[in-house]
Structure 1
């Protein structure tokens, strides 16, 4: 009887030991399965976020280029004041010459000088 009891106890211990070994051996597989499951679920969303970020980056790069181009255009306009003053002087000379021609031909400009010329400065 004691022999049967001993065999039963040994069998229980070996069964428990086998079960423990089975669980320990399969635990990494279960963990890897859970990781794979998580990646499979979250990957499409991550890809969408990456695509959105790339699109936003392209749009912002385009906006930055536009702003830089506009700033350089404004800066170059500041440098053109000398040319506008020169144009103003030439227009005044042209109007003066036109009045001299009209006066020499006996006809004067019917409009006053202020209406014939608009100051652009």
Structure 2
């Protein structure tokens, strides 16, 4: 019986390790995302490259249709992902504490049985 809980404990710890690694990779991707944000409005439109009402409409599309959703991903959606990972890690840590308590109880029961 203790063997089952020890195995379960190991699985939960591995899940936490994977989530922690995932969070690290996500932080790297968020950094890349932030570094690439200026590309949403490239190339810059000037009087020499493109101007007029079509250029203005194109610029509006870049701002509202590309840059705004990009910033939403960069901020809100990354934050939601971090929160979900943190919540799952906290849940797993609570499960680990519960499993460790069960293991301690089982060992205490085995010790009591062995002494009698």
TM over 0.5: no
Whichever of the two has the greater Rg, that structure is: 1
Query: TM-score by structure 2 length?
Result: 0.42
Query: TM-score by structure 1 length?
Result: 0.40
